[in-house]
Amino acid sequence: MERDDLFTAIHKGLRHAILEVNLRAGTTEYADATAVAELHERWRRLHSALSCHSRHEDDYVCTL
């Protein structure tokens, strides 16, 4: 019986998002308040997505 793959695509996307924020953090000009604010907003959205994903996975996926 073939099983649905509930992990590969979403985790690949999350790793990509983490990499993008990491790259942005490494290239941000920290003397530029606008650039720092944009990086902060990207991190805030990523952190929220990671937190929601973790809760969803714990509540629904890992209980199967």
Domain range annotation of the chain: 23-64
The mean pLDDT of 44-59, rounded to a whole number, is 94
Q: For residue 34, give the amino acid letter.
A: T
Residue percentage of the chain with pLDDT more than 90: 75
Contact 46, 17 (CB under 8 A): yes
Encoded tokens for 20: 């993008």
Residue 60 has pLDDT above 60, yes or no: yes
Query: How many Å apart are CA 26 and CA 43, to the nearest integer?
Result: 13
Exposure on the CB side of residue 2, measured as CA atoms within 13 A: 2
Rounded to the nearest 10°, the torsion over CA 8, 43, 41, 45 is 40
pTM of the model: 0.82
Residue 61 has pLDDT above 60, yes or no: yes
Mean pLDDT (the chain) is 93
Look at residue 64 in the predicted model and tell me its pLDDT: 57
